[in-house]
Amino acid sequence: MFRHVPNLLTGLRLILAGVFFGMLSYYQYNSQSGSHGDPLWLNCAFILYCVALFTDFLDGYLARKWKVEGAFGRVVDPFVDKVLVLGSFIFFAGKNFTIPATNPDETPTNVLTITGVVPWMVVLILGRELLVTSLRGVAEAAGIKFGAAFIGKAKMVTQSVAILLILLYVNYLPWLTQNQYNVAATRFRDVCIWVTLVVTVWSGLTYVTKSISLVRQLERNAGT
């Protein structure tokens, strides 16, 4: 009975991700409709993401405690994490979080994302996730355990912290601006995003190095 609890928590996190994305898709920054721009949506999304993070910690903890770790958890758990992170950054780079960019004379020129996330950042994160998923699939097919390394967990932490901070930044930007904290908050937001990108790339390179070592080990074993 207990062996299924971690997998059920993983499934629950996928459901929470769906609800979370529903909130982000309904919300529109600076919407003319009061309901679409209501800060309540992002407050609820923030809480929901925190709950999803807690289930991520809990399912791994219970799997280790009850010694029920398996291939399903090693594959599906990172998949759900990727859905949460990639979906969040895709929404942050999308039209629901755009603001008009202006010249010094206040004439509109283009649009910017209020989140600080732009499409190329999403492509970079997506490329890393696709690469690691492919490597994990090949390793698992060969009967080799390819669980998350420490740097992979650090990547998830930095990405999640960035997502939560962006939600807070967007939701409370009017208050930050009113109290003249907006410049410092924007810089802090950007630093968090760039740290996330660096750790994401670093973790991807770490998994590539790990895969190369595994391949060489398999070749040596085959030779003997």
User: Per-residue confidence at 148, pLDDT binned at 50, 70, 90?
Assistant: low
Question: Considering only CA atoms, which of 200, 193, 70, 208 is closest in space to residue 135?
Answer: 208
Tens digits of residue pLDDT in 85-118: 999 999 999 999 988 766 555 555 567 899 999 9
pTM: 0.88
Q: Give the chain's mean pLDDT.
A: 86
CB distance 133 to 127 below 8 Å: no
Taking only the tens place, the pLDDT of each residue in 57-74 is 998 888 888 877 776 777
Measured on CA atoms in the order 74, 79, 80, 82, is the torsion positive or negative? Answer: positive
| Phi, psi angles (nearest 5°) of residue 35 | -70, -40
Cα–Cα distance between 172 and 30 in angstroms, integer? 13
**Which of helix, strand or coil describes residue 191?**
helix
* Cα–Cα dist 46/54, whole Å: 13
Confidence of residue 32 (pLDDT cuts 50, 70, 90): low
DSSP 147: P
Selecting from 3.30.70, 1.10.1760, 1.20.120, 1.10.10, what CATH number does the domain 2-100+107-211 have?
1.20.120
